Amino acid sequence: MKIGIYSNLERDIGGAAAKTFADALKKRGHQVLISKKMQACGIDAPLCTKEEMASKAEIIAVFGGDGTVLHIAETCARKGARILAVNLGNLGFLSEFDNIQELLSAIGQLEKGEYKTEPRALLEICYRGDTYHALNEAVLARGPHTKLLKFRVSVNGSILNHYKADGLIVSTPTGSTAYSLSAGGPVVAPEVKAMVISPICAHGLNNRSYIVSDESEVSLELIGTEDYANLNIDGEDVCPVPEGGVIRVRRSDLTAEFIRFKRYDYYTKLLAKMNSLN
């Protein structure tokens, strides 16, 4: 096998978990590629950009939290590399394993292909001719100013609602357990073909989330304000959006593939992670 390793060194201190996995793979005759950001870890393996690694490796092992997975998910979806996530963060909704020992014990199954892949849909976000992709969500929200923003939300050209709020979130089912959940949105199972529209701290009683088909196009328009909003994609600020700006969101053609072993059960993991928030 040819396996890439992408590690968040703020979580994987000194790259210890990544190095342990790399050593175990090399002892079994597998080729290892590592992210250029891991150069200081002392792992004897070719250094690659995200794009190079996802093009060359069949599987990319990701060490960190869900945020680390988000940093490489689009690249893996574009290049066809499967993601094997090891949670070294806080929650790890996207992870298959919660520690390096669980991963090491599964190398034999990995070699034999004794796993399945779970597809997770991405969003495509268009604004002023630029296109972005998100595994979790697109967010249009106020910046440092304190005034509420006004939004017009449309689905397939029909007005769905008007909001006065701190912002709006359009999420995938995967992202329903991220920012959308914090904003009071519903949890949506990953196989459901839907998008979730959730307001952030809406002013008024009409502050409910909506679930729409992922075959829809959702438009978010900033209206009636002198302030601007910030477009944020999977936790990364992209650009300011002035009054009259329209963000269009739909399902992307890209799909991220996550490796799952027989032990994996979405609802068991969901219950454990949700209980850890209490």
Active site residues: 66
Please compute, for residue 121, the number of CA atoms within 13 A of its CA located in the half-sphere on the CB side: 23
User: What is the rounded distance in angstroms from the CA atom of residue 140 to the CA atom of residue 126?
Assistant: 13
Task: Tell me phi and psi for residue 146, to 5 degrees.
Answer: -105, -10
Q: What share of the chain is helix, strand, coil (3-state, %, to 5)?
A: 25, 40, 35
> Could you tell me how many residues make up the chain?
278
Are residues 137 and 170 in contact, defined by beta-carbon separation less than 8 angstroms?
yes
* C-alpha to C-alpha distance for 117 and 214, rounded to whole angstroms: 21
271 strand-pairing partners: none
